[in-house]
Amino acid sequence: MAENYKPKDFIHEIIDEHNRTGRFGGRVHTRFPPEPNGYLHIGHAKAICIDFGIAEEYGGLCNLRFDDTNPTKEEVEYVESIKEDIRWLGFDWGNREYYASDYFEKLYEFAIILIKKGKAYVCDCSPEEVRQMRGTLTEPGKECIHRTRSVEENLNLFERMRAGEFPDGAKTLRAKIDMKHPNLNMRDPIMYRIMHVPHHRTGDKWCIYPTYDWAHGQSDSIEGITHSICTLEFEDHRPLYDWFLDELGIHHPQQIEFARLNLTYTVLSKRKLLQLVEQKYVDGWDDPRMPTLSGLRRRGYTPEAIRKFCEIIGVSKNNTVVDIALLEHCLRDDLNKRAPRRMAVLRPLKVVIDNYPEGQVEELDAINNPEDMGMGIRKVPFSKIIYIEQDDFREDPPKEFYRLAPGREVRLRYAYFIRCVDVVKDKDGNIVELHCTYDPKTRGGDAPDGRKVKSTLHWVSADHCINAEVRLYDRLFKTPDPDEGGDFLRNFNPESLKVLLNCKLEPALKDAKPGEFFQFERLGYFCVDRDSKPGKLIFNRSVNIKDTWAKIEARMAGK
Ligand code: ATP
Ligand code: MG
């Protein structure tokens, strides 16, 4: 039987092997563990698609677990946005919404077990001393004097750490592993630090907080996770992940690492995204230029396009940089099938059709989506005065410019052929108005005598159109690698947002609601901004349509 053969990625291979050997009794249970210290971005979408997607494929479950072990940077606002974004992407964690902080008591008990086994000790070294004694990749670390404390003394000190007797940084609890271990993560890593800081969920209950390494694997174990999928930077932490679980003798999930997503023209570090927000380079976390899921959503990205993108990039062990054009392609591809077509003029140029009867209005048929005739047709009003795009006229057309010019004939989409007969200018020489004639025999857009024109322009009727603000976005950074030159903020693209206040739309767009998307013919895909209201419409350009003219222009400019 012929079947579509799709090569398996390494994660599927590992899980299939576990299912064969029965390591987890055939169970597949994953988790997505965001730290609530920022908004989710497109890199997280990759992780979400893997964590939830794999669970779904194997008929398993995926938990949502907030990794809230660091009280200083975490906020409730982030928790809410993370949940909204995962739901929007189309995934569901059922009632399995967990928090690492729910396990603080249990983790404390686990720590006591390790202390009693002689596998953890309270250390008085300062962070600086810990760093100095840790050694390097080529030099072994040194054991500190606190390492030989008795179990009783450790139990006593650890209890008093919890009780709040010591100031921040005075002591830590460390795993007692091996200061000469070739893997630096195994050189007596810190399990707890003292921080007299309230936590967004546990309040003042704790003044000692577990480190990521100590919290993560044990939280996985408590939840019965089978496959703990994370990004490559945790590969070197896996021996420690395994060591804790083995020493405690509890359920032992398999950690699996994959390469994180990097995108050209994009930063995906939460620290840098926060800087863009705080220093007002952008208008908040959901600015349509941001690679956050809320930004992409506001920009007009669909969950379908993002999931498709994640499917195409797949998973691997190699750190690569994906071209942002691929993400844009996925959106274009999705919207091409689904977006209703409309006509909109962004930079209007008035055109008077001299031989068109004064006061006459025709309702012309326009196709809503040539990719899907099921989407039907609509009526577009045509009259004596229309607007076309300023860009679609050149008084002195260069060689490969085929649009309107003096004496030249072009087609108006769904309407008539028009020929330019006169150009009106203001006293400064700016073109303010064109005069044209139309050929009544070309209604619908074709000439009965078979004569051809080289271009078709979009247009709107001046008496019927509605006004709108349109925001055009470009890449947030000027260089494919925003970190080029050392400081990403210096590569910020100041032209990444252009606001056009005087755009003219065909009347069918009057009731467009926030979140709805359209193709503006010849211009690109646009969605209605969340701040848009009837009478004050605001559209965001999601992505352009491939524009051959832009390429020609670039070629002529010698680029
Ligand atoms: P940052 O390093 O910017 O703080 P993070 O990795 O610490 O981000 P978390 O909230 O801890 O952010 O991430 C949650 C999950 O998403 C983790 O499993 C992490 O590995 C994964 N993840 C984060 N960034 C990416 C990325 N660029 N590509 C794929 N997965 C990612
Ligand atoms: Mg993290």
- For the segment 121-156, what is each residue's pLDDT rounded down to a tens digit? 999 999 999 999 999 999 999 999 999 999 999 999
Q: CA 209, CA 207: separation in Å to the nearest integer?
A: 6
Q: What is the CA radius of gyration of the chain?
A: 31
Give the active site residue among 270, 341, 342, 408: 270
- Work out whether the CA dihedral 522, 528, 529, 533 comes out positive or negative: positive
Atom from ligand 1 closest to the CA of residue 233:
20
Protein residue with its CA nearest to atom 22 in ligand 1: 44
Is 344-458 a domain of CATH 2.40.240.10? yes
Closest CA to 418 of 426, 407, 427, 409: 409
Please name the residues in contact with 21: beta carbons below 8 A apart, sequence gap of 6 or more: none
pLDDT tens sequence across 329-358: 999 999 999 999 999 999 999 999 999 999
Indicate whether 425 pLDDT > 80. Answer: yes
260 is catalytic: yes
Region(s) of the chain under CATH 2.40.240.10:
270-340+468-556, 344-458
Ligand located closest to 212 CA:
2
Distance 491 CA to ligand 2 centre (A): 26
Q: What is the CATH number of domain 21-258?
A: 3.40.50.620
pTM of the model: 0.93
Q: Where in the chain is the domain with CATH 3.40.50.620?
A: 21-258
Burial-class residue 511 by CB neighbours within 10 Å (0-12, 13-18, 19+). Answer: exposed
Does 550 have pLDDT greater than 90? no
The answer to whether the CB of 68 falls within 8 A of the CB of 100 is yes
| Confidence tier at 1 by pLDDT (50, 70, 90) | very low
Identify the pLDDT of residue 73: 81
The strand ranges marked E within 354-429 are 362-367, 377-382, 385-389, 409-412, 417-425
Catalytic residue among 23, 27, 35, 471: 35
Confidence at residue 4, expressed as pLDDT on a 0 to 100 scale:
54
Backbone φ, ψ for residue 193 (5° rounding): -125, 155
- 270-340+468-556, CATH topology level: Ribosomal Protein L25; Chain P (2.40.240)
Query: Tens digit of pLDDT for each residue in 472-483?
Result: 999 999 999 999
Separation between Cα atoms, residue 351 and residue 461, nearest integer Å = 10
Nearest ligand to residue 66 Cα? 1
pLDDT band at 552 (very low <50, low <70, confident <90, very high): low
